[in-house]
Amino acid sequence: MSDALLPSADDAYSSPDAQGFYGPYGGTFVPETVMPALAELSEAYESAMQDAAFRERLSYLLAEYVGRPSPLYKAERLAEAVGLGAVYLTREDLNHTGAHKINNSLGQCMLAQRMGKRRVIAETGAGQHGVATATAAALLGLECAVFMGVEDIRRQSLNVYKMKLLGAEVVPVDEGGGTLADATTAALRHWVERVEDTFYVIGSTVGPHPYPAIVRGFQCVIGEETLVQLEVKNIDHVDAVIACVGGGSNAIGMFYPFLRHLPAGSRPLLIGAEAAGLGVETDKHGAALTKGTPGVMHGFYSYLLQDDAGNPLEAYSISAGLDYPGVGPEHGSLKDSGLVRYEAVTDADALEAFVLLTRTEGIIPAIESSHALALLPRLAAELGPDAVLVLNVSGRGDKDMDIVREAGVE
């Protein structure tokens, strides 16, 4: 595609303004003591992105260490099983550490090193961001602490062991439900106390500005590579692109380049799959975009599961990576604008899709990714048997074996 034909991101939709808002969502709702650190981070990120040496080093590590570019695999038996013309899978599960999280963790740890910070912290739910951050910290010689809810520590014991083996301290969080939201709260609180010597590696497109834009910047390699590979494979038409959405990093990494680089008339349908848990009609789900209302949490304003007083509600999903009561502000803007469609997927449907991909293609996906896979039969009915779809397999399912077994899947 000719660059002359490509509109800018701002032509596609509102990229963050100077205050970090995507339309009405985003912003910086933090104590005044943290504002200088966020300004320093914003300046460091902008400087790094303009530094050819930084970009070259990141590209080298993404290729030689992470294993990019991730393949775009044509899943023929899967497409036949769900009644579609073609399904192409972006294989983020093949990355070093087993998910898309390493793209962002590596970039942010390099930023920490550039800023002279010798210590990084992170929050994690499913453990993939924690493992990715511990991995990047080990590579770069940084001290690392990962905050993780006690319930997620129980569910993701393998990843806990990996983080410790990599030299990271795993900090248990027993507040609230002991899941991702609680780990994020604890990590933010700790960062406020040690902002002078500690870099907070946020794992998704959440948090105060400039974090949502930084995470998007490091994750958009997913969609950029996908567009290149579609062109190389001479695939000139795609009907839909699908990704799962918790906080929203793998999805925004996939969607942003399609919105930025393709004119409106040639863009595929973009669809995010969020966690319906036991059903959106119950109180056991994580579907912030489907059932939430705008509110403030963790330093930003976006769709949120909250009570009448504005207090976040506990989210639920069989997937430890999707049980977050909010969603990144850019996704809120994309929902309101209609540029991306969001649908909720139950635990049961996600597990069924997990088994389907495993048995048709020999690829064991993360339960997070299985939420996106569960939309394939719905889209086959909507778009017809000749439709061509691209789906982001954001991670592999090694970490989820105990969960799947406990759910009675055989």
Catalytic residues: 101, 123, 394
Residue from 383, 391, 393 nearest 85 by CA: 383
Residue from 227, 309, 216, 211 nearest 263 by CA: 227
Contacts of 12 (CB under 8 A, 6+ apart): 259, 260, 264, 339
Residue from 189, 64, 183 nearest 130 by CA: 183
| Cα distances (angstroms) measured from residue 74 to each of 36, 41, 268 | 47, 40, 17
CA distance 254 to 369: 13
Spatial strand order in the sheet of 198-201: 169-173, 143-149, 119-124, 198-201
104, 218 contact by CB (below 8 A): yes
